[in-house]
């Protein structure tokens, strides 16, 4: 796929990037190469390929979900400016 100078100017405007006129030819070629690679990758048949979460088939060790801190709600709410029913009261910011 090839891009002309108008396409490059539009992409630069959308990306809010300043591209010099002298760089548009090289940029057009490089973006075209990337788009051709994407087209080649989309042409690959992946119907029997199982998706993987990790390329190394590694599993993540997870720790047990256990409470390891004591409840300090009352201690922290004593120093809060305003609380009610165990909740912190804050000024309304959205009307």
Domain boundaries, the chain: 5-42
**pTM for this one?**
0.49
Length of the chain equals 95
Q: For residue range 9-53, what is the model confidence (pLDDT) as tens digits?
A: 899 999 999 999 888 888 999 999 999 999 999 999 999 988 887
Please give the sequence-ordered ranges of beta strands (E in DSSP) within the chain, or none if there are none: 83-84, 87-88
What pLDDT, on a 0 to 100 scale, did the predictor assign at position 1?
66
Contact 20, 28 (CB under 8 A): no
């Amino acid at each position: 796929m090839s891009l002309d100078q108008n396409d490059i100017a539009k992409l630069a405007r959308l990306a809010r990037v300043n591209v010099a006129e002298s760089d548009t030819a090289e940029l057009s070629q490089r973006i075209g190469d990337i788009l051709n690679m994407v087209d080649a990758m989309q042409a690959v048949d992946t119907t029997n390929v199982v998706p993987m979460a990790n390329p190394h088939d590694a599993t993540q060790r997870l720790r047990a979900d256990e409470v390891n801190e004591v409840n300090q709600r009352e201690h922290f709410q004593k120093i809060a400016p305003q609380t009610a029913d165990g909740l912190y009261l804050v000024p309304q910011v959205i009307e």
